[in-house]
Structure 1
Amino acid sequence: MQPTVRDHALADGLRVGQAAVEEGLLRATKSDVPFITEAARELTRTAGRRLRPLLVLLAARFGDPGAPGVVPAAVVVELTHLATHYHDDVRDEAAVRRDAPRPDANWDNTVAVLTGDFLFARASHILADLGPEAVRIQAQAFRRQVTGQILETTGPCEGRDPVEHHLDVLASRTGSLTAVSGRLGALASGADPSVADALARYGERLGVASHLADEVAAPTARRPTLPVLLLAGAADPADRELHELLTGPTERAGHAEGVGHADAVGHADAVGDADAVARLRTHPVLDRAREETARQADAARAALSTLPGCPARDVLESLCETVVALTAPSSCG
């Protein structure tokens, strides 16, 4: 997610900072064991948006962007983000993530989990040099991430609105790390604590909006996404049927001549899911999901209202617009 940066000095500074972050990621993912290096760098090569490091670099513009802790802080948040991807992919048993093979397509689940642990360890090692306050901030965010993962796994308690539960899960799982990006960037640059608070609030809402934009732009089955949850309890029988197709048991009866039963069932699942997702892509429920995405983006923008006007703030505001634009029908195919 690369916003348009109209200020030439800021654009040049961000390019330099982003290049330094990439170098830092290469150093951090290098091991004396070549296999570990290859495993650790797999997602580093495929995860290209680098939203969290960008937030760190922009947050640092409210203090001293050249402070020595800024780039390491950006490396830490990206390593943590990548580590959670390794763990999530194993937990979700996903075949692909963002159109790239999941880690354990080439390595088994144990290696994928341990690779995530390796990245967490490398992030902690770098973080220790940033001081106890940075360690505390990261630890709190990690606690929220784990809590969000548990809440997603257990589902909403009886009587809880599933949509509200989902938004709370996203705030913990996704928003916590984007919030840390803003806070660590401000902390590392020596910005005022009130600036760090505002950037953390902004980051959390932007993180939720960004995740919702992905759910709208690429609807999927077998996961509790906002568009799917909005179908739950629908009065229209066709909507209830669609919800069941998107969330029901994966094993359906299937048979193909010359194909084993397991392959036939898998083929039937894939075809059934594809048909259901195709119906979801044109369903009016996506408009409600777009509205929630825009609401979260507006909350992110409002969090910036106390910050001084500057090119970095302009870019942060433009990111809100970029996220919402990702949900436009033409963008979603």
Structure 2
Amino acid sequence: MSLDDPSAKPHDRLQLALSDDLSAVNSLISDRMASEHAPRIPEVTRHLVEAGGKRVRPMLTLAAARICGYEGPYHVHLAATVEFIHTATLLHDDVVDESAQRRGRPAANLLWDNKSSVLVGDYLFARSFQLMTETGRLDVLRVLSDAAATIAEGEVLQLTAAQDLGTNEDIYLQVVRGKTAALFSAATQVGGMIADADEQVVNSLFAYGDALGVSFQIADDVLDYAGVATQTGKNIGDDFRERKLTLPLIKAVAKADAQERVFWMRVIEKGDQRDGDLEHALALLDKHYALSAARTDALEWSERAKQALASVPDHPIRDMLRDLADYVVARLN
């Protein structure tokens, strides 16, 4: 594969363009996830880190730094920090959601136990803070620590909102901006900050990451009902079984008649799910064009991401970030 191969996926071209930086990130991750006294830590972490994740978030940090002309070593620390935060949240999420799969493999909490997943996640959070302090940049530390707090806040908000039929699209967006987009936007923002880029450029990188993260999450929520399990690494209908009011369901509930609302109350609010309920839910999503409407929203957020790059310096990697925004939603075709 070459950088100018039109058939290559955007994240693959990004990986190639950033290959040296990514190798340094992977080495740093391997070094910092080691533990002399608790061998279970690298066991659990390695299971998830080496499960084939695309490293999108750390690549965003590396890409932003390179676009802004950074020549120092600390973009590698920040990219590893972002990946550690992400991995920690995945370990915690799988416990909260009682997930059976992650990246097409058994979830860590099934292979070990919930206690191990939670504690190793805590360890990775601590490691991430150690890494970010090594940059000596208080402004960067503030952005990433704020993002970690925002992610946790978004997850807690989802606990209360996910099974409440009163949850609307504004609340959904607040959850998504917390649990998903906050790390995307922090990843791109700190890449510009470590390069001492102009404030306008840093703000544009933040806006790109925020919109990309929202588009990414909406696409994931659509694919939970319309994807292929072998491609998504998740079982179709997992969100339904976990009683999560994601955007497709919120749109269907908003148009529900009285009988349909009784169904949604039973399966989502009361958790009384029976054979055939997922199929009925899919029929209601189709009836109210909820999946196509959610797809449209994902496309709009993808366009916002691309527009935000207009104020970012011209660079081949910037073009790859534009293509990445398209690719996030191309999964929905």
Instruction: Provide the TM-score with structure 2 as the length reference.
Output: 0.83
- Closer, same or farther in 2 for the Cα pair 1:159/1:325, shift >3 Å? closer
Alignment correspondent of 2:104: 99
Whole-angstrom CA distance in 2 between matches of 1:44 and 1:26: 9
How much has 1:276 moved relative to structure 2? Answer: 4.1
Number of aligned positions between the proteins: 307
- Closer, same or farther in 2 for the Cα pair 1:295/1:13, shift >3 Å? closer
2:210 aligns with one of 204, 212, 220 = 204
Residues 1:89 and 2:94 aligned together:
yes
| Conserved 8 A contact 1:242-1:276 | no
Alignment correspondent of 1:243: 264
Residues 1:275 and 2:279 aligned together:
yes
Alignment correspondent of 2:19: 15
Residues 132-171 of structure 1 mapped to structure 2, 5 A cutoff: 132-155=138-161, 162-171=168-177
How much has 1:155 moved relative to structure 2? Answer: 2.1
| Conserved 8 A contact 2:61-2:188 | yes
Residues 1:227 and 2:235 aligned together:
no
How much has 1:315 moved relative to structure 2? Answer: 1.0
SS at match of 1:46: coil
1:190 aligns with one of 173, 192, 196 = 196
How much has 1:314 moved relative to structure 2? Answer: 0.8
Alignment correspondent of 2:308: 303
Alignment correspondent of 2:47: 42
- Closer, same or farther in 2 for the Cα pair 1:125/1:285, shift >3 Å? same
Alignment correspondent of 2:221: 215
Amino acid at match of 1:232: V
- Closer, same or farther in 2 for the Cα pair 1:185/1:39, shift >3 Å? same
How much has 1:320 moved relative to structure 2? Answer: 1.2
Question: Per-residue CA shift, 1:235-258, capped at 9, x if unaligned?
Answer: 446754663565254445xxxxxx
How much has 1:277 moved relative to structure 2? Answer: 5.7
How much has 1:176 moved relative to structure 2? Answer: 0.6
Alignment correspondent of 1:124: 129
Once structures 1 and 2 are overlaid, which stretch shifts more, 292-301 or 304-313? 304-313
Alignment correspondent of 1:262: none
Question: Per-residue CA shift, 1:305-324, capped at 9, x if unaligned?
Answer: 21232212211111111011
1:324 aligns with one of 305, 315, 329 = 329
Question: Per-residue CA shift, 1:4-40, capped at 9, x if unaligned?
Answer: 677xxx7754122222222222112111122221012
Alignment correspondent of 2:4: none
Alignment correspondent of 2:234: none
Question: Per-residue CA shift, 1:134-173, capped at 9, x if unaligned?
Answer: 21111111121122122212229x9976111001110111
Once structures 1 and 2 are overlaid, which stretch shifts more, 198-207 or 46-55? 46-55
Question: Per-residue CA shift, 1:100-149, capped at 9, x if unaligned?
Answer: 22221022212111010011111111111012222111111112112212
| Conserved 8 A contact 1:186-1:195 | yes
How much has 1:190 moved relative to structure 2? Answer: 3.1
- Closer, same or farther in 2 for the Cα pair 1:281/1:197, shift >3 Å? same
| Conserved 8 A contact 2:11-2:56 | no
Instruction: Provide the TM-score with structure 1 as the length reference.
Output: 0.83
Alignment correspondent of 1:261: none
Whole-angstrom CA distance in 2 between matches of 1:73 and 1:204: 18
Whole-angstrom CA distance in 2 between matches of 1:144 and 1:302: 25
Instruction: List alignment gaps of at least 5 residues for structure 2.
Output: 1-7, 226-236
Instruction: List alignment gaps of at least 5 residues for structure 1.
Output: 253-268, 329-333
Whole-angstrom CA distance in 2 between matches of 1:93 and 1:232: 25
Whole-angstrom CA distance in 1 between matches of 2:199 and 2:73: 18
Amino acid at match of 2:158: E
| Conserved 8 A contact 1:3-1:319 | yes
Alignment correspondent of 2:82: 77
**Identity among equivalent pairs (%):** 32
Amino acid at match of 2:100: A
Alignment correspondent of 1:109: 114
- Closer, same or farther in 2 for the Cα pair 1:155/1:274, shift >3 Å? closer
Amino acid at match of 1:116: G
- Closer, same or farther in 2 for the Cα pair 1:18/1:238, shift >3 Å? farther
